[in-house]
């Protein structure tokens, strides 16, 4: 009998408008409802970040936990895009994978460090619809 594996979890900044748009994008394009979400401001999100050696108060923290492995920065984004199923997102994931990490990760961190200034910040965390709620950690 095959052991059931937990759904992959994306830990995101719930008050960042760019991050909230990313979550909305994934809710729309993850047609298999594969990914679940936890805001880094939540207890579960903080615990996942700490378990993978990330500072839960750092604006650079972005994490995908899949099969108990933690992906960060551009590798997390690549992993997610490649798994969405639609050809254009898989292609984009493969293209980003070809960019060397020494170049891609600093670019990611620059955007992450300045995301509130560039994209804005919400006063409260992203609130899912009742249909989406099951995919979010409390």
| 83 inside domain | yes
| 40 inside domain | yes
Spacing of C-alpha 50 from chain mean position: 15
* Cα–Cα distance, 11 to 98 (Å, whole number): 24
Whether the per-residue pLDDT at 1 is higher than 50: the answer is no
Q: How confident is the model at residue 70 (pLDDT cuts 50, 70, 90)?
A: very high
| 98 inside domain | yes
Number of H helices, E strands in the chain: 5, 4
| 128 inside domain | no
| 129 inside domain | no
User: What's the rounded mean pLDDT across residues 64-85?
Assistant: 94
Token pair of 68, please?
């108990």
Weakest-pLDDT range from 38-47, 88-97, 121-130: 121-130
Predicted pLDDT of residue 58: 84
Region label for 8, one of left (φ > 0), alpha (ψ between -120 and 50) or beta (otherwise): beta
> Residue 114: which of 47, 71, 60, 66 has the closest Cα?
60
Is the pTM for the entire model greater than 0.75?
yes
- Provide the mean pLDDT of the chain: 89
* Cα–Cα distance, 3 to 124 (Å, whole number): 37
| 68 inside domain | yes
Residue 133 is classified by DSSP as: G
Whether the per-residue pLDDT at 111 is higher than 50: the answer is yes
Domain count, the chain: 1
Predicted pLDDT of residue 131: 87
Whether the per-residue pLDDT at 2 is higher than 80: the answer is no
Predicted pLDDT of residue 49: 95
Asked if 71 contacts 61 with a C-beta cutoff of 8 angstroms, the reply is: no
> Residue 63: which of 22, 102, 25 has the closest Cα?
22
Domain that holds residue 95: 9-121
| 115 inside domain | yes
């Amino acid at each position: 009998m095959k052991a059931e594996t937990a759904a992959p979890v994306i830990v995101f900044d719930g008050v960042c408008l760019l991050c909230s748009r990313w979550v909305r994008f994934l809710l729309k394009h993850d047609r298999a409802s594969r990914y679940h979400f936890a805001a880094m401001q939540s207890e579960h999100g903080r615990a996942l970040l700490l378990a993978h050696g990330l500072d839960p108060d750092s604006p650079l923290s972005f994490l995908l936990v899949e099969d108990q492995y933690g992906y960060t920065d551009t590798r997390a984004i690549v992993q997610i895009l490649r798994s969405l199923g639609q050809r254009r997102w898989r292609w984009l994931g493969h293209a980003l994978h070809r960019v060397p990490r020494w170049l891609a990760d600093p670019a990611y961190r620059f955007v992450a460090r300045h995301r509130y200034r560039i994209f804005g910040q919400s006063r409260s965390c992203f609130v899912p619809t009742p249909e989406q709620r099951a995919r979010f950690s409390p």
